[in-house]
Amino acid sequence: MVIKVYIASSSGSTAIKKQQQDVLGFLEANKIEFEEKDIAANEENRKWMRENVPEDSRPASGNPLPPRLFNDSRYLGDYEAFFEARENNAVYAFLGLTAPPGSKVGEPL
């Protein structure tokens, strides 16, 4: 199982940049292995992400924006879903991973 984080390296949006940094920083700090997929530099990544975000998770107009998280090809959610899981100490459950022993960010309380 590989966590994939779809990001845009050349986003003009400060909010998107901050969200991407937040997700990547959290994963790195918690030593959670992930692959960073840049949709700005790679058309295949952009196409794959857009095709694999479920219909009910797409914006009303336009294309889905990063960051978007997947476990292999299973869609996990966007930044809001990640943030909510983090606030509820349920990031590992959200990512579909087993929390390491003693982790504060394991299963929901």
Contact 55, 24 (CB under 8 A): no
Name, in order, each residue with C-beta under 8 angstroms of 51's C-beta and a sequence gap of 6 or more: none
SS3 category, 30: coil
CATH number of the domain bearing residue 38:
3.40.30.10
Domain coverage including residue 44: 3-95
The pTM of this model reads 0.91
What is the arithmetic mean of pLDDT over 8-24? 95
Number of folded domains that form the chain: 1
Residue 106: pLDDT above 60? no
45 inside domain: yes
103 inside domain: no
107 inside domain: no
102 inside domain: no
Average pLDDT, the chain: 92
82 inside domain: yes
108 inside domain: no
